[in-house]
Structure 1
Amino acid sequence: MFENQRIVREKLRDFAKKYYLNQLYKGAIFFVAITLLTFILYTVLEYFSYFNSLVRSIFFYSYILLFALTFIFYILIPILKILGLGKQISNEKIASLIGKHFPEIDDKLLNILQLENLMKEGKFKSYDLLIAAIDAKSEKIKPFPFVKAIPFKKSTRYLKWVSIPILLFILLFSVKSEIFTDSTKRIVQYQQYFERPAPYNFEILNPSLTAFQNETYELRVKVVGDEVPQEVYIAIKDKRFKLQAKSLTEFSYTFQNIQRTTEFQLVTEEFTSKPYTISVLPKPVTISFVVNLQYPAYLNKNNETVENNGDIIVPEGTTLTWSFYTKNTDSMLFITDNLQKTLQSDNDIYQISVRAKNSFDYAVINANKYYSNKDTLKHAITVVPDKYPEIFVESRQDSFFADRIYFKGNIKDDYGFNSLKFVYSKFNADGDLLETNQAISIDIQNRITLQDFYYYFDAGILYLEPGYRLEYHFEVRDNDAPNGFKMSKTSTFNYRFKTLEEIEQELKQGNSEMKDDFSQLLKQSKQLSKELEQLRQQIMQSKTTSWQDQQKMSDLIEKYNDLQKQIQDLKNQQNEQYQVEEQYKNLTPEILKKQEELQKRFDEILSDELKEMFQKMQDMMNELNKDKMMEMMEKMKLSNEEINKSLDEQLQLFKHLEFEKKYDEIIDKMRQLAQEEKQLAEETKNKQISKEELLQKQENVEQKYEQLNKEIQELKKLNKELEEPTNMKDHSELQKDIEKDMQESKESLQKNNRNKASEKQKNAGEKLEELSYQMELDKLENEGEELEEDIETLRQILDNLVRISFQQEENLVAVRAMSPRSSSLTDAVRKQFTIQENMVIIRDSLNALARRQAAVKPFIHKEVSKIETHLEQAKVNLNDRRTSNSASNQQFALTSINNLALMLGESLKEIKQKQQQNQSQCSKCKKKGKSSSSCSNSGNSKKSKAKTARELQQQLNRQMEALKRSLEQGDGKQNNMQQPGQPSLSEQFAKMAAQQEAIRKMMQDLQDELKAQNGVGDKSLEQMIQEMQRTEKELVNKTITQQTINRQKNIETRLLESERAEMKQEKEEKRESQVGRNMRNPNPPKDWDIDKTKQKQTEMLKTVPPNLNYYYKEKVNQYFYNIE
């Protein structure tokens, strides 16, 4: 009974499995058909349409969804049912399905299930009856195969639906597999853009689609394919831009100053490329930068700041500080030729300082994590080296003083100057260096970089002897303190003081030329007189003046003007000649006064009145008629006569003065030679100088004496040139004796007979003194005789002039009392003619006197000319019976005669004073005799003391040097051993100590005189006296060392400087008394325009703005400097 029920139960379970297997089978068919058809549909649509990412994403996700749903519904659920998972099909459902399939069963199976349910629920009345019913029914349905109720065949019929998509897939795949492969790839990779297949492709040539902010990015595209489009566009958002064709297949587009990431597509008429993206990265940039310029302190320039300009020109030594303001910068590298430094950031500001000594290039590199070594700032710092200063100098010698030099120079530097110096070295006549590199500072404008300078150098302050030499140059230093004030200097110049022989030769030549010039001017003046007289006669014979007459008159005036110019030139030449003589010669006060008188006479020749008259004539030439022209010619005639007289007198006085100066010079040289010969006699006697040296010195003395004899012959020649030569006595016998003594002294020296040689030398020196004394006495006696003669002549002239004055007064009274018709006029005319004739005699006498006596001034001749003019006019008016006019002329003549008498009285007084001086000197000379060094007052006591002390000191120094050499040549010990013919050592030391004491006392006397004058004396002289005292002590202690010798040389040098200073002071005092022609102040050449140049440089300082940079300031300075 239960067996049947079990069998039914198993058949039900088998049915359920088979049922779900059928469901699975049918579901697989539907699953494949649905998914495959959808796949084919999507891929075909995508293949032909090339949907965008959105559509493809819908395709992708919808297909996944469809696939999942159909799989779950048709595959997964049936499998789960088969496995018994999930809700199973109910037995009632199975019974229904089986009952429908098997009519025999109908609802029997369902009834069995219902009875079992009643049994389970206990809803039955009889269990057995229920079991029997179930068993009976089970028995009846047991034979039926329940599984056949499942419609397997019906499910198989669905295979035709799945075969269609499969066949379609196979067909399409076999024809063009790209439909499925490419489409599936594009749908699956829906996020990626896929280009529609075209006859060409775009190839991006850029290695990377990455750009940096603010940069220019060039997109380069190449078209690859069988066809090439003519135009290609780039699509950015909704805008299109045409690409530039580089070639047939290459195109480019430039993104300017790209700022952000940009997406684009390449577009042609037929095709649009996939989207591309340019990624923009932050770029390290320098927003701005400043450079602070700190100039070296010595430039005196304000510091500057330069913004956003890396190429800078700076002076050497400038400190440059860069401040870079950056953005998106992680690091910065500063690179030069020899420096590579990583800078540190302070709030995106990078700083570095460099002191510029040389020009250099530099680069600045910004970098961050994306970008490096791209954005490089490359600049150049040009360093202007502090150049060496430049200097140029030209010089001119003073036209008056040979020892004065004027310098005009130009200095130039890039920033300014520290100093300008005149540097000199001094050498004696033998070439020995006395002083070296002595510097004198010159004032300049330190801030002006281009300027002229002027310097006046008086070599006389260096106490240079004739023949001494100077080497000098200029040194300029710039203001470059860090480099030690760089220095430039000029070439070394040489200046040699002429020797006395050269100076004398030049003076001699100058005198000769001036005499020739005087003669030439006198000829020109006389020729002008002739031409004037010819023109006057020509005009007198004509009724009126013609244009030719006026032209001839104008030419004559022009010649007179030229003559005046030549006279002025001659005056200047004479003045220069006198300046040289005053500088190098010891002229007596009398000679200096005569020279001054000669110069003044030039001024009277070229009087302002005469110049004004000729100028007035020149201005009135076009207005002249015959009467005015005749009047003018009469004035010119008188003026020319005065010029002729003055030039003739000037020439004769010049010759007289030349003779006197030569005479005095010979006497002075003779005295000096006498002292030199007597000094040589002492040296010969002491036997401390070698024979060869003594012979050389004696030969020098003989040569000087021979030269003196030649000069005496020249003096005689000058005397013959005088109109009234002086009576020069013959001293030839004395001259021969001197020559004989000198010759014998030399012969004795050659025989080594020193005593006889010394005696002859002493005799020659004394005879030289005798000769100088005789010559000076002769000179004074001759001058006295000439003065006596001149005084007598002038007295006679005055007496005659007084007679003429009385005669003129008597005739004037008579004429005033006469009427024009009086018969007595004939007597008056005869008396007037006599007065005129007597005046001519006085005039000729005065002219003769004026040619040898400077006391007769040129204005005396002018007054004589006035008298003659008035006398002539008085005579003419009397002849024409114009008594009143004649009386007026006679009155004028009488006044001038009285004036002339007063003038001559003054001249007579002056000549008498000269006579008294001459008599005093002559008396003194005779009283002192030949022992006197000079009969005149030409010397200066202080100067004589200084010179004498220097000569004595020089002699003593030689003795000490000789004694020191003799001691060194012996055993080195100072003993009292006496050699034959020589004083003992003790005697020599004692004598030298006494000589030094005498010299010291002489200098002490000079110091006392100076103290009496200025209250303080001379410090240098006081030191010299103290050094002399130390020498005296050493000599008393019989000690001579090299230190002693050096001290003595120093004393001698100081004495020489003292002598030179006193001589210079004396000359300066003389020059100060002659302010007009002997100004000591420097007068540079006029064409140098010193004042104008200094004013221009001062204006440059005021005009150039101080805040200009170096380049422009230099240009402004150059501009102002070049302005004339």
Structure 2
Amino acid sequence: MFFSFIALSVATLIAYVIVPVCKIAGLGKQLTNEEIAKIIGEHFQEIDDKLLNLFDLQRQLESGNYQSYDLLSAAIDTKIEKLKPFSFVQAIPFDKTKKFARWALIPILVFVLLMLLKKEVFVEPAERIVHYNQQYEKPAPYSFVVTNPNLRAFQHDDFTVHVKIEGDETPEEVFIHYKNRTYKCNKVSNTEFDYTFSNIQQDIDFNLLTDETSSITYTIDVLPKPVTIGYEMQLHYPAYLNKPDEVLDNVGNATVPEGTRIEWKIFTKNSDNIIFIIDDEVKTISSEGDQFLIQKTAKNSFSYALFNKNSYFTSKDTIKDNITVIKDMYPEIMVMSQQDSAYSERYYFKGNIKDDYGFSKLQFVYNQYDANGRLVKQNQTVNIAIQTGVTLQDFYYYFDANTFDLKPGEKIEYYFQVFDNDGVNGHKSAKSSVSSYRLRTLEEISDDLEKSEDQVKSDFSDLVSESAQLMKDIEKLQSQLLQEKELSWQDKKKLEQLMNQYQELKDAIDKLQNQQKNNQAIESQYKDIQEDILKKQQELQKRMEDALSEEMKQMMNKLQQMMDQSAKKDDVQKEMQKLKKNTEDINKTLDQQLQLYKQLEVEKKLNETVQNLRNLADEQEKNAKNTENKNISKEQLQKIQQEIQEKYKELKEDLQELMKLNQQLEEPTKFKDTQELQQKIESQMQQSQQNLEKNNRSKSSDNQKDASESMDQLANQLEQDFNESELESVSEDIETLRQILDNLVKISFSQENILTSTQKMNARSSSVSNLMTEQFQVKNNMAHIADSLNALARRQMSVKPFIQTEVSKIEDYLKSAQTDLNDRKLPNASKNQQFALTSMNNLALMLNESLQEMQKKKEECKSKCNKSGNGSCSKPGGKGKSKKTSARELQQQLNRQMEALKKSMEQQGQQGQTGQQQQMSEKFAKMAAQQEAIRKMLEDYNNEMKSENGVGDRTLEQLINDMKKTEKELVNRTITQQTIQRQQSITTRLLKSERADIEKEKDEERKSNEAKYVPQLNPPKDWKFDTEHQQQNEMLKSVPADLNHYYKEKANEYFYNID
């Protein structure tokens, strides 16, 4: 029956479905047109055989069986027109079929509802029909429904099966059966059960069971889960770091330098892709087997995450880490400069450069500008050697503006620029601040020097006042201390103030000393300074350095210690007395320095003015020659002449300034009046311009030559006046020093006698009072010598500061000796007298050296005087005449004294009578000293003759020998008639020698030779840098190589800082 039903269904399907469809598709036998026309004609009476006739006519037309084509075509068209109004749709009687269509809707609706509400009515029977050979049991009262969307699980995951019971009944328990074992399901509710499979490794087949029924077999498909087995991160550092690459195993976080290429190798299982997320950027990386390779160059810090993925699953287990990028920082540079104390155009630079990884180069960069400010050279560079691998280091650079061939008024701007070794972003740089150097013009240099010298004089005056005030404050504090028993807190504060005053004085002297050095260096570099002036400047500089003695510094330290230790008042007073004395010496020294500085300033101003006058005379002479050259235009000559006149006006102002400075001296130089000569020069220049305007070149040239000669004459006159005045001053000071030396010898004799008497005398003797009187007289005489030496030291540098120091010692010893005699402490007095006598002898030696130095200076003055001007300076016979005259006059006075002494001795009837012996000894000693002084005067003169002419004066040599005989007799306290005759002969021969010199001077030719002096500049100061930076570099190299970058840099900084 089942198969009969199948056969009937198939036949119906073929007859009513397949066959019609085949015919519609044109398959099988087809009707001809004539048959179709007959069928249509039978169903439509209006058409009848019209359609058939049309086909006949069409056939005739196609076969060509016709007599007239047009007639046949017309007949066909007529037939077609008759058929057009007809509609074939009318052939179907829709009105009759509509009433049956609505009945067909009822079964269709029933079928749709059943399919929607209970499709198993159709599905299950159909299934049973299809599976005809399968046995079906009676349906259970309930069924198992697995509610999981799908039965797919990922390997190693847990999977829970959810079961729902549907039906009229519900079981109390549900079991699950798999792998030949049965497990009870977890009851969630009356109709819901579940069961969890743990750590699924492979596919699982299971059934659901109850006591009444079992389910079909379900299969859990286990899908492979993408997992990460491990990974490594390779760090490829930029090449410029010279750092070896690193590999980090299973480490995701890292701190790397900028530009590091990071390569991740991810080792996975069951992964098709990896999702790589960097910040907001997502990339999908395909696999190469079970290994993934990801690369990125780190420019900035970033976070990243890695997800494994295959066709079934995207892993929720991610790698989330951070990469911190250390940016390559800009380099840093710091530069300090120091100007050479001797050469203002030289600078020494010490700099410090720092970077995180190293450097590529360090450069000195400069731009050069002309006097008008136009850029001549731009971005010129000089490479400086550095250690490129050391991240923190010092560098040194020497800058000499002379190497740039600058002209006056031109300047350069410069700076230092350091470049790091950044191989990622390109070499970054840092610059120091821009500095500049401008080559001043000679006029600017002169103006600056003049201002600086004025400031030096002002500072000198201030220092003299400050030292004097310090002396007064010390005296005031001493007076207060005398009225107190112990040092009070106020006394200590005042003493502290005194020490502060002293420190301020010291600082001011140091500052002044540096200013003098700087001025001297500039003058030596830019001006032609004569050698004797350079020597004087050096002597002044040395005196400034010795102004504050080491002894005074020790006294200040000792006073400070006394204050700290609360010393006794008497001890403090003694130290303050020493301090007062030393301060007084400083005051005298500074005052002497000031006067000597003023003299030197006048001498420098004179030399500069004279040199400028001679240079201008040369320019005028040159222009005079150019005026005669007709190839040079009149306008150009007038312009040059006008410039010369302007320069002369400036020189006139310099002359006025010279005279002004000269008048400020205590003993001004005796310059002759030059106003007439100056007016003459101006007149000649004006006449030159007038003649040039009239185009009278010949007269204009003559006027210019006359002006040039007058300038030379003015320069020679100024130089001659100064040299003569200096020679006269030195000669007078030599005589003064000789007199001082003579007086010192006398005082030393007196002091020696007092010392002898003191050593032999009893303290209780009444003669002590006489010794006190004699000692007081020696002390007063020594004070006169001290005043004379102080006055002489203000004029002559030959009187050195140590002479003043020795004089102070003598005065201190004499004062102490006087006090000891008053207290009748004869042993102490004798000791101080011995010290004073020793210092007197030392002072005599010092003064003798100063005398010799002054004599040499006198010879130099004579040499300069003879070479300058018109040669009218005193030679032997000039100033020599006055020296012989002085010697003759002194000799006459000595002769009269000797004659008077001889008469006195004859009247007394004996020599050396008791009571008169000491008085006679003093007279003989004094006359012997006078004769010695006269003899030395003639010896000096004779030596001058030998140095200038090569031959001395025989007459003077004979006179000198006779004087020595007289000295010997006076020392032996003997005066005979032969002695008196010898002395008269000496006087007569001196007078004849004077007259001979006068005659010789009249016949002598007077010639002038101008001395041209080319100064030699001081050699460049050796700039020695500290060698500590070399030691530092050695320590930096010793940093262990296995330290990472961070700790290595910390070690470098540590070594640098402690260095």
TM-score normalised by structure 2 residue count: 0.64
Q: Displacement, 1:594?
A: 1.3
Is 533-542 or 811-820 further displaced after alignment?
533-542
- Summarize deviations over 1:61-97 as a string: whole Å, max 9, x none: xxxxxxxxxxxxxxxxxxxxxxxxxxxxxxxxxxxxx
SS of the equivalent of 2:667 reads coil
Query: What CA distance in whole angstroms lies between the structure 1 residues aligned with 2:798 and 2:490?
Result: 44
Structure 1 partner of 2:247: 305
Q: Partner letter of residue 767 of structure 2?
A: S
Is 350-359 or 420-429 further displaced after alignment?
350-359
SS of the equivalent of 2:1017 reads helix
Is 1:809–2:759 an aligned residue pair?
A: no
Candidates 720, 725, 748, aligned match of 1:782: 725
Taking structure 1 as reference, are residues 220 and 592 closer, same or farther at Cα in structure 2, changes over 3 Å only?
A: farther
Q: Partner letter of residue 908 of structure 1?
A: L
- Summarize deviations over 1:676-728 as a string: whole Å, max 9, x none: 33344444444555555444433333322222211221111111221111112
Is 1:1067–2:1017 an aligned residue pair?
A: yes
Is 1:203–2:153 an aligned residue pair?
A: no
Is 1:708–2:651 an aligned residue pair?
A: yes
Structure 2 partner of 1:848: 791
- Summarize deviations over 1:147-171 as a string: whole Å, max 9, x none: xxxxxxxxxxxxxxxxxxxxxxxxx
Task: Describe how 1:159-178 pairs up with structure 2 within 5 A.
Answer: none
Is 1:443–2:385 an aligned residue pair?
A: yes
Taking structure 1 as reference, are residues 475 and 726 closer, same or farther at Cα in structure 2, changes over 3 Å only?
A: same
- Summarize deviations over 1:299-333 as a string: whole Å, max 9, x none: 21112223345676655665555545444467889
Query: What CA distance in whole angstroms lies between the structure 2 residues aligned with 1:737 and 1:1064?
Result: 31
Taking structure 1 as reference, are residues 286 and 896 closer, same or farther at Cα in structure 2, changes over 3 Å only?
A: same
Q: Partner letter of residue 455 of structure 2?
A: E
Q: Partner letter of residue 360 of structure 2?
A: N
SS of the equivalent of 2:518 reads helix
Query: What CA distance in whole angstroms lies between the structure 2 residues aligned with 1:374 and 1:290?
Result: 20
Q: Which runs of 5+ in 1 are unaligned?
A: 1-175, 931-1062, 1072-1078, 1084-1089
Across the aligned residues of Structure 1 and Structure 2, the Cα RMSD in angstroms comes to 5.1
Structure 2 partner of 1:594: 536
Taking structure 1 as reference, are residues 1123 and 818 closer, same or farther at Cα in structure 2, changes over 3 Å only?
A: closer
SS of the equivalent of 1:290 reads strand
SS of the equivalent of 1:705 reads helix
- Matched-pair contact (CA < 8 Å) for 2:334–2:353: yes
SS of the equivalent of 1:871 reads helix
Taking structure 1 as reference, are residues 873 and 1119 closer, same or farther at Cα in structure 2, changes over 3 Å only?
A: closer
Query: What CA distance in whole angstroms lies between the structure 1 residues aligned with 2:615 and 2:165?
Result: 120
Structure 1 partner of 2:642: 699
Structure 2 partner of 1:472: 414
Sequence identity (%): 47
TM-score normalised by structure 1 residue count: 0.61
- Summarize deviations over 1:469-524 as a string: whole Å, max 9, x none: 01222232333568875555456543212333333233222222222222222222
Taking structure 1 as reference, are residues 578 and 276 closer, same or farther at Cα in structure 2, changes over 3 Å only?
A: farther
Taking structure 1 as reference, are residues 871 and 763 closer, same or farther at Cα in structure 2, changes over 3 Å only?
A: same
Query: What CA distance in whole angstroms lies between the structure 2 residues aligned with 1:655 and 1:230?
Result: 132
- Matched-pair contact (CA < 8 Å) for 2:142–2:167: no
Q: Partner letter of residue 648 of structure 2?
A: Y
Q: Displacement, 1:240?
A: 7.8
Taking structure 1 as reference, are residues 314 and 880 closer, same or farther at Cα in structure 2, changes over 3 Å only?
A: closer
SS of the equivalent of 1:620 reads helix
Query: What CA distance in whole angstroms lies between the structure 1 residues aligned with 2:172 and 2:1032?
Result: 76
- Summarize deviations over 1:965-1015 as a string: whole Å, max 9, x none: xxxxxxxxxxxxxxxxxxxxxxxxxxxxxxxxxxxxxxxxxxxxxxxxxxx
Structure 2 partner of 1:1108: 1044
SS of the equivalent of 1:1067 reads coil
Structure 2 partner of 1:675: 618
Query: What CA distance in whole angstroms lies between the structure 1 residues aligned with 2:495 and 2:478?
Result: 10
Structure 1 partner of 2:100: none
Q: Displacement, 1:536?
A: 2.9
Taking structure 1 as reference, are residues 202 and 292 closer, same or farther at Cα in structure 2, changes over 3 Å only?
A: closer
Query: What CA distance in whole angstroms lies between the structure 1 residues aligned with 2:419 and 2:769?
Result: 92
Task: Describe how 1:442-841 pairs up with structure 2 within 5 A.
Answer: 442-451=384-393, 453-480=395-422, 485=427, 487-490=429-432, 492-541=434-483, 546=488, 548-621=490-563, 622-688=565-631, 691-751=634-694, 753-841=696-784
Query: What CA distance in whole angstroms lies between the structure 2 residues aligned with 1:739 and 1:250?
Result: 135
Is 540-549 or 726-735 further displaced after alignment?
540-549
- Summarize deviations over 1:256-309 as a string: whole Å, max 9, x none: 975433567899999998775432233455533434444343321112223345
Q: Partner letter of residue 142 of structure 2?
A: P
Taking structure 1 as reference, are residues 488 and 608 closer, same or farther at Cα in structure 2, changes over 3 Å only?
A: closer
Query: What CA distance in whole angstroms lies between the structure 1 residues aligned with 2:351 and 2:646?
Result: 45
Q: Partner letter of residue 649 of structure 2?
A: E
Q: Which runs of 5+ in 2 are unaligned?
A: 1-119, 874-1012
SS of the equivalent of 2:222 reads strand
Q: Displacement, 1:649?
A: 0.9
Taking structure 1 as reference, are residues 637 and 201 closer, same or farther at Cα in structure 2, changes over 3 Å only?
A: same
Task: Describe how 1:88-103 pairs up with structure 2 within 5 A.
Answer: none
Query: What CA distance in whole angstroms lies between the structure 1 residues aligned with 2:609 and 2:138?
Result: 130
Q: Displacement, 1:803?
A: 1.1
- Summarize deviations over 1:542-569 as a string: whole Å, max 9, x none: 5665554455444434433433333333
Taking structure 1 as reference, are residues 895 and 309 closer, same or farther at Cα in structure 2, changes over 3 Å only?
A: same
Is 1:288–2:234 an aligned residue pair?
A: no
Q: Partner letter of residue 893 of structure 1?
A: A
Is 1:896–2:846 an aligned residue pair?
A: no
Q: Partner letter of residue 580 of structure 1?
A: I
SS of the equivalent of 1:1068 reads coil
Q: Partner letter of residue 914 of structure 1?
A: K
- Matched-pair contact (CA < 8 Å) for 1:878–1:886: yes
Structure 2 partner of 1:426: 368
Query: What CA distance in whole angstroms lies between the structure 1 residues aligned with 2:362 and 2:294?
Result: 39
Is 354-363 or 616-625 further displaced after alignment?
354-363
- Summarize deviations over 1:812-859 as a string: whole Å, max 9, x none: 223333222334333333322222222121111101000111111111
Query: What CA distance in whole angstroms lies between the structure 2 residues aligned with 1:632 and 1:740?
Result: 68
Q: Partner letter of residue 640 of structure 2?
A: K
- Summarize deviations over 1:167-210 as a string: whole Å, max 9, x none: xxxxxxxxx999x9899999997999999737x955324xx433
- Matched-pair contact (CA < 8 Å) for 1:400–1:579: yes
SS of the equivalent of 2:147 reads strand
Query: What CA distance in whole angstroms lies between the structure 2 residues aligned with 1:508 and 1:544?
Result: 52
Taking structure 1 as reference, are residues 577 and 227 closer, same or farther at Cα in structure 2, changes over 3 Å only?
A: farther
Q: Partner letter of residue 741 of structure 1?
A: Q
- Matched-pair contact (CA < 8 Å) for 1:871–1:889: yes
Q: Displacement, 1:907?
A: 0.8
Q: Partner letter of residue 704 of structure 1?
A: K
Higher radius of gyration, 1 or 2: 1
SS of the equivalent of 2:452 reads helix
Query: What CA distance in whole angstroms lies between the structure 2 residues aligned with 1:672 and 1:218?
Result: 118
Taking structure 1 as reference, are residues 352 and 708 closer, same or farther at Cα in structure 2, changes over 3 Å only?
A: same
Q: Partner letter of residue 460 of structure 2?
A: F
Query: What CA distance in whole angstroms lies between the structure 2 residues aligned with 1:177 and 1:544?
Result: 136
Structure 1 partner of 2:981: none
- Matched-pair contact (CA < 8 Å) for 1:234–1:243: no
- Matched-pair contact (CA < 8 Å) for 1:518–1:647: yes
Q: Partner letter of residue 505 of structure 1?
A: D
SS of the equivalent of 1:204 reads coil
